[in-house]
């Protein structure tokens, strides 16, 4: 994997490699070195190999990866997203490309099989001409947050008696946090906490000030305590304009928190509207505001319970790791 220091795809790479290792598989993580990621993998008992994973002029990563895979005795190699697939070597192993989005398939042309983490990504891959019998759906898993203690509201700046609406993600235009902030104008009394960091912070701070929401909308910065944050909230909101999966929805399911989401690709697939969440149109602050107010007024307990059941049956670590182990055994040469 040649991912960034932070991000949902990168974190799931760590969770899956560690989960497979703990289940008894021999796993060699080959990554672009990132100190915190290396430390986490080593703490789990893995020995990650660091390679550059540069641009098209990087002529060393592919042969070095090939030597490492041969020395490891690899039966299957998984290329995690586009850059890793571009540098992935062919060999005696089965080469799988794993897609967590709608990436150009030209980067995966050396792969024997492809895996998508949503059914819509799988459908899209086949629609591009990839043989259907060489594409598989394998979902992500997230941690079990049901019994985690909630985060401190005092630290977040939220009164104990105020409804807390939580959003998570990089502060980027694609996440639609501007729409969510505007929606909060007409949800009196509720506080919004957005946990994340990114280039849109100055614009969002200006929007919060112009909407006179400084007392009720809090930009909490990058946080690693997702479980406690969710457990402190009455509602989780995904306002993304584009979201191939939405690990955050799965995390809210796990924590037993009701979900309101803009109907981007991933949330639209994950959520059954009115059963385990509420879907609203993308870029619709009025519709989002109405949905937030309704769920806060009603409590959302039935939806939260339905989401938790979805998590336990489809997106818990034992379920997904078992599916990956079965798949890897079937495709291994």
Q: How far is CA 49 from CA 29, 89, 318, in A?
A: 6, 15, 26
Q: Cα(179)–Cα(13) distance, rounded to whole angstroms? A: 30
The side-by-side arrangement of strands in the sheet containing 278-280 is 217-221, 191-195, 164-168, 235-238, 259-262, 278-280
Q: Is the Cβ–Cβ distance between 121 and 105 less than 8 Å?
A: no
**Where are the CATH 3.40.50.2000 domain residues in the chain?**
8-141+316-331, 153-314
At the topology level, CATH places domain 153-314 in Rossmann fold (3.40.50)
Q: In terms of DSSP bridges, do strands 235-238 and 49-50 run parallel, antiparallel, or are they unpaired?
A: unpaired
CATH code, residues 8-141+316-331? 3.40.50.2000
Tell how many helices (H) and how many strands (E) occur in the chain: 14, 12
Q: Is the Cβ–Cβ distance between 84 and 51 less than 8 Å?
A: no
> Nearest CA to 195 among 233, 228, 221?
221
Q: How far is CA 120 from CA 25, 60, 172, 233, 243, in A?
A: 29, 35, 24, 30, 12
- pLDDT, position 333: 75
Q: Is the Cβ–Cβ distance between 74 and 91 less than 8 Å?
A: yes
What pTM, to 2 d.p., does this model score?
0.91
Q: What tens-digit pLDDT sequence spans the chain (333 residues)?
A: 998 887 888 999 999 999 999 999 999 999 999 999 999 999 999 999 999 999 989 999 999 999 999 999 999 999 999 999 999 999 999 999 999 999 999 999 999 999 999 999 999 999 999 999 999 999 999 999 999 999 999 999 999 999 999 999 999 999 999 999 999 999 999 999 999 999 999 999 999 999 999 999 999 999 989 999 999 999 999 999 999 988 999 999 999 999 999 999 999 999 999 999 999 999 999 999 999 999 999 999 999 999 999 999 999 999 999 999 999 999 997
- pLDDT, position 5: 83
- pLDDT, position 6: 79
- pLDDT, position 180: 98
> Nearest CA to 52 among 73, 34, 71, 25?
34
- For residue 307, give the 3-state DSSP assignment: helix
């Amino acid at each position: 994997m040649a991912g960034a220091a932070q991000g949902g795809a990168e974190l799931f790479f760590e969770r899956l490699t560690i989960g497979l290792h703990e289940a008894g598989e021999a796993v060699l993580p080959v990554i672009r070195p990132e100190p915190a990621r290396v430390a986490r993998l080593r703490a789990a008992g893995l020995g990650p190999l660091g390679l550059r994973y540069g641009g098209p002029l990087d002529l060393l990563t592919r042969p070095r990866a090939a030597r490492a895979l041969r020395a490891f005795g690899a039966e299957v190699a998984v290329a995690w997203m586009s850059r890793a697939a571009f540098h992935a070597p062919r060999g005696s192993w089965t080469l799988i490309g794993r897609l967590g989005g709608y990436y150009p398939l030209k980067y995966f042309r050396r792969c024997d099989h492809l895996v998508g983490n949503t059914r819509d990504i799988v459908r899209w891959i086949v629609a591009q001409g990839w043989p259907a019998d060489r594409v598989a759906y394998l979902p992500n898993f997230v941690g079990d947050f049901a019994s985690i203690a909630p985060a401190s509201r005092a630290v977040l700046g939220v009164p104990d008696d105020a409804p807390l609406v939580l959003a998570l993600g990089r502060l980027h235009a694609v996440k639609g946090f501007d729409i969510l902030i505007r929606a909060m104008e007409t949800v009196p009394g509720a506080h919004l906490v957005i946990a994340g960091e990114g280039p849109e912070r100055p614009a969002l701070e200006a929007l919060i000030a112009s909407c006179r929401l400084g007392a009720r909308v809090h930009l909490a910065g990058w946080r690693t305590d997702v479980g406690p944050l969710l457990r402190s909230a009455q509602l989780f909101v995904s306002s993304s304009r584009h979201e191939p999966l939405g690990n955050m929805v799965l995390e809210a399911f796990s924590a037993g928190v009701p979900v309101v989401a803009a109907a981007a690709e991933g949330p639209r697939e994950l959520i059954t509207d009115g059963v385990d969440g509420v879907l609203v149109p993308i870029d619709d602050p009025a519709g989002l505001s109405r949905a937030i107010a309704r769920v806060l007024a009603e409590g959302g307990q039935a939806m939260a319970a339905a989401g938790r059941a979805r998590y336990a049956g489809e997106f818990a670590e034992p379920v997904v790791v078992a599916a990956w182990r079965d798949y890897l055994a079937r495709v291994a040469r």
